[in-house]
Chain A
Amino acid sequence: MAKEALTLKRLVIEIAICIAILFAVMMLCAFAGSQSISFEKVFMSDGAGGIGNIDRQIFFGVRIPRIILAAIVGAALACSGVVLQAILRNPLADPYILGISSGAGLGAIIAILSGISWSFWGGSSITAFSFVGAVLTVWLVWWIGRFTGKSQVTSLLLAGVVVNAFFSAVIMFLTSIAKSNQLQSTIFWLMGNITEKSNSVLVTACVLVIFGILVLFSISQKLNVLTFGAEQAKNLGVNIKHIRVIGFAFAAFITAIAVSLSGLIGFVGLIVPHGVRLVFGPDHRRLLPLSAIIGGIFMVIADTIARTIIAPAQMPVGIITAITGGPFFLYLLARYSRKVSWLK
């Protein structure tokens, strides 16, 4: 599938189709929920519906913002996974490999335990703390990686693993001394949990994530070349340092935004890129935008399941992504991978 040469026109058509699917899924999911709402009431004009149009308020005030948030988070994580897998040339790389998860987790848990609760510009203290934690940790990992070895990529991976392990231990220590009323929100955060956010946070996150994805798309052809290794990439005229710095920085940035909004949602950044690669091939000019959109679709569906399956209670969405993503990925692997031909 998709083995003809990729042209810009073809790519634009594919992206348009995927975006159309994303919007369709978002609309459908917006009608699903513990409170059933009717299509006519939602789209009735304000005059007829009036202030008391609860369906309309739920739809536009609660569900649509949350669905947009889920889509942003999914897109950011999947896109970041694509870039890190390419740069680290490691299929197991995911957005958390650079220590983002533990750093953000530490930030969040400090915010929860210290009881600091202020908000600025519509963002909660947990969001702010986890974002700062994520960015500082990435910087720390990058710094350690740079000064430890000649093989940048390997030492960066190792630095990420070590920092992650250390911070995870600190998180567990803090969790074990936390009071029970703080424990629930901590655990939910660590399991990945999408909740309603204010519109200003939503708009800011949307703009920043889309900007980050566009920047990463601009280096996508270079990422193709980089998968052949640093030496070949250099001989093909790619400034490797430049591409690595841009790739790491923006992948880390959009992940930090996603994590600070939703907690640690596993699996999306690992599995969506692999799934898209299996179906559409490894060309990053296509892989990157399609993974972002499909990551968004996947997360919207997962979040809809998370908020409806045990309604009126809600389940952390990270559980849904792992439970549904795993088997679906195995199916894709069996269907498209030539190495497991015995399953065809």
Chain B
Amino acid sequence: MSVTIKVENLGFGYGPRTILKDISFEVEAGAFIAIAGPNGAGKSTLIKLICGLLKTDNGSIEIHSRNIKHYSEKRLARKVAVVHQEFVPGFDFTVAETVAMARTVYMGTLGFESAEDKNAIDKALRLTDTLEFASRSISQLSGGERQRVFIARAIAQDTDILLLDEPTSFLDLKHQVGIYDLLKKMQKEKGKTIICVTHDINLTNQYCDQSLLLSAEQQWQFGRTEDVFSSETIERFFAVKTFEGRVREKKFFLPLGNYQQ
């Protein structure tokens, strides 16, 4: 398997406050990877570093064996698509118009969609089951629908790599599972490399091949999801005791609080 993303001795801080320290890992093409950890551990920061929104202080990030410093916005946008955590309310664009913006880098000077662009947009809408409300305004959608629209946009961008920052926060169980099923489908059928920030350790255990666990104290652990998560690591990284069990041969963890009814 070829290496798609290579992170080496990565360090980053906001001013004097160090967030990430000396992180190294490699992501193989077609892998589905989770980034987990407590609040403030730098999960979103790492995503922003990989998609070029932030610049590394130390170390390097390579995508297809090329340092991301050397990518222009345009070239990077053909390799990496991002689903951001927050929805920025702006103008009242429809679902179809929003997804169409994924094709920005492929459009000609006048900025109109070619037949190929339309095809990609249509496919993305179908894959994410968003076609039925394609003409609705994104500000009128529920959280789950909107999240699917932004995933559709990322798919229409036609990149090898998908980065997602907590795509299932605020979603109900059905939609959480729906999004992970969709991502798994993308991985299996389209061969996409997926990196997903998540708080849901149990969904991670079910879906993700490998995991990167970050702590608020700049500790980190990377490996097969099966190996990374255990009652012991979770207690060390999250300061929460858990009950560890297995369902369908996958591990699951039940957090144990200090109080009981």
Q: Give Cα A225 to B107, complex, Å.
A: 13
**A-contact 0/1 string along B71-88, CB 8 Å cutoff:** 011101110111010001
**Residue in contact with B104 in the complex, picked from A86, A218, A221, A240, CB distance below 8 Å:** A221
B105 touches A236 (CB 8 A): yes
Say whether A7 faces chain B, with CB atoms less than 8 Å apart.
yes
CB neighbours (8 Å) of B92 from chain A are 277, 281-282
Partner of B90, one of A4, A218, A229: A229
* B259 → chain A closest CB, angstroms: 40
Give the residues in chain B near A8, CB-CB below 8 Å.
110, 112
Instruction: Answer whether residue A5 sits at the interface, using C-beta atoms and an 8 A cutoff.
Output: yes
Of the candidates B74, B80, B84, which one forms a contact with A232 in the assembled complex, judged by CB atoms under 8 Å apart?
Answer: B84
CB B154 to nearest CB in A, in angstroms, measures 9
Contact at A218–B109, with CB atoms within 8 Å? yes
B100 at the interface (CB under 8 A from A): yes
Contacts of B53 in A (CB 8 A): 231, 234-235
**Which residue of B48, B80, B94 has the most chain A CB atoms within 10 A of its CB atom?**
B94
Neighbouring B residues of A222 by C-beta, 8 Å? 104, 111
Select the residue from B48, B77, B91, B157 with max chain A CB neighbours within 10 A.
B91
B154's nearest neighbour on chain A, judged by CB, is: A235
Docked complex: B103-138 residues within 8 A CB-CB of A: 104-105, 107, 109-113, 118, 135
In contact, A89 and B90 (Cβ under 8 angstroms): yes
Per the 8 Å Cβ criterion, residues 50-77 of B in contact with A are 51-53, 72-74, 76-77
Cβ contacts under 8 Å, A231 to chain B: 48, 53, 84
CA A240 – CA B77 in complex, angstroms?
Answer: 13
Whether A246 is near chain B, meaning CB under 8 Å from some CB there, is: no
Nearest residue (CB) in A for B78 is A237
Assess whether A225 is in contact with B101, with CB atoms less than 8 Å apart: yes
Nearest CB on A from B256, distance (A): 38
Instruction: Determine which residue in A225, A237, A239, A285 has the highest number of CB atoms from chain B within 10 A of its CB, and name it.
Output: A237
Question: Which residues in A have some Cβ–Cβ distance to B below 8 Å?
Answer: 3-8, 86, 89, 218, 220-222, 224-225, 227-229, 231-232, 234-240, 277, 281-283, 285, 338
28 A-B contacts (beta carbon < 8 Å): A3-B135, A5-B96, A8-B112, A86-B91, A220-B111, A221-B110, A222-B111, A224-B93, A228-B88, A229-B88, A229-B90, A231-B53, A232-B84, A232-B88, A234-B52, A234-B73, A235-B51, A235-B77, A235-B81, A235-B82, A235-B84, A236-B101, A236-B104, A238-B104, A239-B74, A240-B73, A281-B94, A283-B93
